[in-house]
């Protein structure tokens, strides 16, 4: 008796003889369009390389000034690029409720001061009359209580006056230190909301630069360490500096760490210049590919896709240190092999590809 499996095999065999259904899946895919990809060649790590990190000089002291109250800007005597001294007027607001609030608080204080003077005299008389037995202790204490209550109200009014005057003072901006005006955000006559930036200042004196350092090199830096940088667009002129601060955290796994460098006071230095730090790197021998060529879908087995005869095949590798935009790899690769750098996540083993040159 013929089984169901035997009958299915015979039917497939006959159909294959008549229609060619026995062709391989690989052969059937020959007509599928090739996937366009970009590739790079596996490179050899030199025994010594350089990592160049650049940044922009800035003032060691910086400030963005804002009012703590809202109002209309009626004064702004400073302009872009102007130098200002500490305490110099930067801007002033007009706010309709500030000055009346001060006047009202002053009037309330004067009223209570007058009342206190009268109650003070009343208390003196009450104490005298009580001493002569003409009024009771209760009557004298009533006058004393009125005096103490008015004294508390006077203290509260004085506090309110101080607050009103502080709010009026907050309608005036002054330079916190000697500086240069980098930017002015409002013109006279415009309404300024509380907390909105009005003027940005760069302080006179020390300059600094913040560099973003790869995690593989961050251990080279320590506070107080001397460094030499070059002015990139000024003939690579060298400038001296020292490490002021090393960031404790980078921008995520494989991220960059901020290193703040204080620059020496040298002629010609000013905010806004591009400086560069060159870091020699001893890499040893090995192979490297761009970081974007490595695919790790969460399995813990990173791989690259190597292109051979128009098709891609996954090659499992172990990943080493980062060197700029390259990462060291170890696996069955050879220098000059072409690996895919775009669209890795949608590739399948053996897929036909067209290399874009």
pTM: 0.52
**236 and 271 in a common domain:** yes
Q: What is the pLDDT of residue 12?
A: 39
> How confident is the model at residue 284, as a pLDDT?
60
Last residue of a domain, one of 252, 282, 312: 282
Domain's final residue, options 152, 187, 202: 202
Give me the residue label for tokens 């087995």. 301
Instruction: Give the tokens for residue 58.
Output: 């800035």
Cα–Cα distance measured from residue 92 to residue 103, given in angstroms and rounded to the nearest whole number: 19
Residue 220, token pair as written in the block: 């080279």
Q: How far apart, in whole angstroms, are the C-alpha atoms of residue 317 and residue 339?
A: 12
Question: 287 - beta bridge partners?
Answer: 44, 329
Name the domain count of the chain.
4
Residues 296 and 332 grouped into a single domain: yes
- Segment 207-220 shows an average pLDDT of 88
One domain for residues 197 and 66: yes
Reference 301, options 326, 320, 318; nearest CA is: 318
Average confidence score pLDDT of the chain: 84
Q: Which residue has the tokens 């600094």?
A: 208
Query: What is the spatial distance between Cα 72 and Cα 80, in angstroms, rounded to a whole number?
Result: 20
181 and 89, same structural domain? yes
Of residues 255, 175, 239, the one with CA closest to residue 206 = 239
Same domain, 160 and 253: no
CATH of the domain at 180: 2.40.50.100
Q: Residue 55: which H helix or E strand, with range?
A: strand 48-56
Is position 192 within any domain?
yes
- In this structure, the number of other CB atoms found within 10 A of the CB of residue 274 comes to 14
**What share of the chain in percent tops pLDDT 90?**
47
pLDDT at 120 over 70: yes
35-37 vs 353-355, strand pairing mode: parallel
- Confidence bin at 133 (pLDDT 50/70/90): confident
Adjacent-strand bridge partners of 312: 307
Classify strands 83-84 and 179-184 as parallel, antiparallel or unpaired: antiparallel
Does residue 113 lie within any of the structural domains? Answer: yes
Q: Span 213-227, mean pLDDT?
A: 89
Average pLDDT over residues 234-256: 80
Residue 27 belongs to some domain of the structure: no
Whether 119 and 161 map to the same domain: the answer is: yes
Distance of CA 63 to the CA centre of its chain: 16
Please give the Cα distance from 306 to 338 (Å, whole number). Answer: 6
Residue at 55 is within a domain: yes
Q: What is the pLDDT of residue 19?
A: 38
Helices (H), the chain: 4-19, 25-28, 98-131, 137-169
Domain that holds residue 301: 32-47+285-355
Regarding whether 195 and 148 lie in a shared domain, the answer is no
* pLDDT at residue 55 is higher than 80: yes
In a domain, 118, yes or no: yes
Structure tokens at 349: 């083993």
CATH number, position 331: 2.40.420.20
Long-range contacts (CB closer than 8 Å, 24 or more residues apart) made by 10-18: none
Domain-embedded: residue 24: no
CA distance linking residue 125 with residue 328, whole number of Å: 96
Q: What are phi and psi of 246, to 5 degrees?
A: -120, 125
Residues 175 and 79 in one domain: yes
Write the pLDDT tens digit of every residue in 84-109.
Answer: 999 999 999 988 888 888 889 999 99
Q: Is pLDDT of 20 > 50?
A: no
What local confidence, expressed as pLDDT, does residue 48 receive? 60
> How many Å is the Cα radius of gyration of the chain?
39
Whether residues 164 and 37 share a domain: the answer is: no
């Amino acid at each position: 008796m013929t089984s169901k499996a035997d009958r299915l095999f015979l039917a497939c065999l006959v159909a294959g003889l008549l229609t060619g259904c026995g062709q391989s899946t690989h052969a059937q895919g020959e007509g599928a369009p090739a996937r366009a990809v970009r590739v790079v060649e596996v490179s050899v790590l030199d025994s010594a390389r350089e990592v160049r990190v650049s940044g922009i000089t800035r003032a060691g002291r910086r400030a963005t000034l804002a009012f703590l109250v809202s109002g209309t800007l009626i004064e702004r005597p400073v302009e872009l690029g102007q130098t200002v001294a500490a305490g110099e007027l930067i801007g002033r607001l007009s706010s309709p409720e500030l000055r009346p609030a001060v006047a009202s608080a002053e009037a309330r204080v004067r009223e209570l001061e007058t009342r206190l003077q009268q109650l003070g005299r009343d208390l003196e008389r009450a104490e005298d009359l009580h001493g002569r037995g003409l009024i009771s202790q209760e009557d004298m204490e009533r006058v004393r209580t009125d005096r103490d209550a008015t004294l508390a109200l006077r203290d509260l009014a004085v506090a309110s006056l101080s607050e009103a005057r502080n709010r009026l003072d907050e309608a005036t901006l002054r330079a916190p230190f000697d500086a240069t005006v980098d930017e002015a955000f409002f013109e006279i006559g415009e309404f300024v909301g509380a907390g909105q930036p009005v003027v940005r200042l760069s302080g006179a004196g020390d300059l600094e630069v913040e560099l973003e350092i790869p995690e593989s090199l961050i251990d080279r830096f320590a506070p107080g360490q001397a460094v030499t940088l070059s002015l990139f667009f000024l003939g690579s002129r060298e400038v001296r500096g020292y490490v002021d601060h090393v960031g404790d955290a980078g921008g995520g796994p494989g991220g960059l760490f901020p290193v703040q460098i204080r620059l020496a006071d040298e002629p010609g230095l000013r905010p806004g210049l591009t400086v560069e730090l060159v870091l020699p790197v001893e890499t040893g021998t090995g192979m490297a590919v761009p970081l974007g060529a490595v695919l790790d879908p969460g399995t813990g087995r990173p791989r690259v896709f190597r292109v051979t005869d128009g098709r891609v095949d996954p090659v499992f590798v172990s990943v080493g240190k980062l060197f700029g935009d390259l990462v060291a790899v170890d696996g069955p690769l050879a220098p000059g092999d072409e690996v895919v750098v775009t669209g890795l996540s949608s590739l399948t083993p053996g897929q036909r590809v067209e290399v874009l040159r």
